[in-house]
Amino acid sequence: MYMVLECSMPTRHSACRYVLYHKSLFGGDGMAIKYIPEPFRIKVVEPLKMLTFQEREKKIAEAHNNVFYLRSEDVYIDLLTDSGTNAMSQFQWAGVMQGDEAYAGASSYFKLMDAAKDVFNYDYIQPVHQGRAAEKVLLPLFLGEGKFAISNMFFDTTRAHVILAGARPIDCVVEAALDPAKRAPFKGNMDVEKLERLIKEHTPEKIGLVVMTITNNSAGGQPVSIQNIKETAAICGKYAIPFSIDAARYAENAYFIQRDEAGCQNKSIKEIVREIFSYADMFTMSAKKDAIVNMGGLLGVRDGQKYGGLIQEIKSRCIEFEGLYTYGGLAGRDLEALAIGVYEGLDNNYLRYRVGQMEYLASRLDDAGIAYQAPVGGHGVFLDARAMFPHIPYYEYPAQALCVELYKEAGIRCCDIGSFMLGNDPDTGEQLKADFEFSRLAIPRRVYTQAHLDVIADAVIEVSKRAKNIKRGYKITWEPQILRHFQAHLEPIA
């Protein structure tokens, strides 16, 4: 896809403003470019080591074939996650120096309150140290033995906290999401008809919470439309079930809405974010994603009047697990960086470049005929390992096999979002079959350059050429009970 670029002079405090047109739509003069260039330049560099193929073969074997055991210094391009791996801006680093490290009532806390209340428009905001801390504080207040939680798709830590609270998670994503080759907008959506069916089947009293994950991480960073959020909220309202947003990628989701949803092209990202959040009762958020920080999370409650009791319980539980409610497990400097990051994530030029990175990678895979969750989502490219290794069954973890091969090929670290990550049935102990076998190439924010993207694409293409010679997958030789993929040991099947 070629685009035309016009670049106004950068002002002192704002990034260069690009005006991009699809050439096919507008024609016109200007420089034709193949990708959207970085709207920043580099001020601090972090050197990388490059091992040989043989050295990497040895490293991954020593790591029990589990990428979480690799040392980061042995990784050339780290696509394990986009969580907390982002590059902060000069403004955020300047904020770090202004962190107020007081135990109670720090000025950094009030800065964060002003920013987060402005962006999300909620009455109560609770900082926590990361997303799963928000889940640990909130979920047991709605879930327990005999209850269910329904989501478009639960992320792994959210699913774990539903189970830890004694309840059972149910995924309810639209059919289109389950077919990686089917190109449709908003493949992250909730299947609202199925949602209503599930509520009636289990009875509304047993549904403790409905959770909308934006973007839908496990389905490939696929966005959810405003229309779908509205419809889901209406069903929750009808049956008096609380509605929560798992909001890690609030800005990327809003960008897709602005780009693709009818009637949203003239709304700002901030307006769209506020509208999304206006339909929910509460949210949990890992700020390590779209708020572009290395550590942090938020929990929000929209209506302080209606949920006054809940807010009190959140504060108490936060004190038990995270620390006083004015710091929530974070240093004052983290609160400062987050107060700036929640705004930086909303910048249209930045979001266009970020999603442009995914689109560029995807276009290289298209040229090579390599399958991925299409169209590409917001924070990474999710390779369809089932398509690359059709001969490896889910219980031999084809996506994990692809991760190991990519590390050997080019020192790229990515992770399995498939049956290896999903784990065993909590009731029967049997290996579950995941809806997908994805190897996720998560792209950290503002970290890797265009040249890195080409290395990634070339490595995937190389592995795909030798895929048929990789006959078998992996078996687990040791695993913990919950969230096993972080720690399990694997062995290639001979």
Ligand X SMILES: *Cc1c(COP(=O)(O)O)cnc(C)c1O
347 is catalytic: no
Q: Which residues of 115-132 are buried (b: 16+ CB within 10 A; e: fewer)?
A: bbeebbebebbbbbbbbb
Q: Is 382 a catalytic residue?
A: no
Active site residue 391: no
Closest CA to 111 of 129, 132, 130, 125: 125
Fill in the per-residue mask, 297 to 336: x = in contact with ligand X (CB under 6 A), - = not in contact: x---------------------------------------
Classified as helix, coil or strand, 410 is: helix
Distances in Å between the Cα of 369 and the Cα atoms of 254, 387, 430, 432, 461 are 30, 11, 34, 29, 9
User: Of 155, 283, 372, 438, which one is the catalytic site residue?
Assistant: 155
Confirm whether 111 is a catalytic residue: no
User: With respect to ligand X, which residue has the nearer C-beta, 158 or 258?
Assistant: 158
Pair 251, 346: CB distance under 8 Å: yes
Q: Is 65 in the site for ligand X (CB under 6 A)?
A: no
| Residue 243 sits in the site that holds ligand X (CB under 6 A) | no
Question: Which of the following is catalytic: 64, 289, 379, 408?
Answer: 289
Q: What whole-number distance in Å separates Cα of residue 150 and Cα of residue 235? A: 12
Q: Which of 272, 295, 305, 298 is nearest to 283 (CA)?
A: 298
What is d(CA 379, CA 62) in angstroms, rounded to the nearest whole number? 29
Q: Residue 164 class from Cβ within 10 Å (0-12 exposed, 13-18 middle, 19+ buried)?
A: middle
Is 343 one of the annotated active-site residues of the chain? no
Binding flag, residue 246, ligand X (CB under 6 A): yes
Cβ proximity of 377 and 214 under 8 Å: no
d(CA 316, CA 310): 10
Taking contact as CB under 6 A, which single stretch among the options 116-124, 125-133, 305-313, 446-454 is the one that binds ligand X? 125-133
- Of 37 and 84, which has the nearer Cβ to ligand X? 84
Neighbours of 367 (CB within 10 A): 10
**Residue 66 touches ligand X, criterion: CB under 6 A:** no
Cβ closest to ligand X, residue 364 vs residue 440: 440
For the CB of residue 442, give the shortest distance to ligand X in the complex, in Å: 9
Contact call for residue 210 and ligand X (CB under 6 A): no
Distance CA 282, CA 152 (A): 16
The residue from 2, 26, 53, 103 that is catalytic is 103
Residues 431-460 binding ligand X (CB under 6 A) are: none
200 tagged catalytic: no
Site for ligand X in 142-201 (CB under 6 A): 155, 157-158
The smaller minimum CB distance to ligand X, of residues 95 and 131, is found at 131
In the residue annotation, 395 being an active-site residue is answered as: no
Nearer to ligand X, 65 or 85 (CB): 85
Contacting residues toward ligand X, per CB under 6 A:
83, 130-132, 155, 157-158, 213, 217, 246, 248, 286, 288-289, 297
What is the set of active-site residues? 103, 155-156, 246, 248, 289, 485
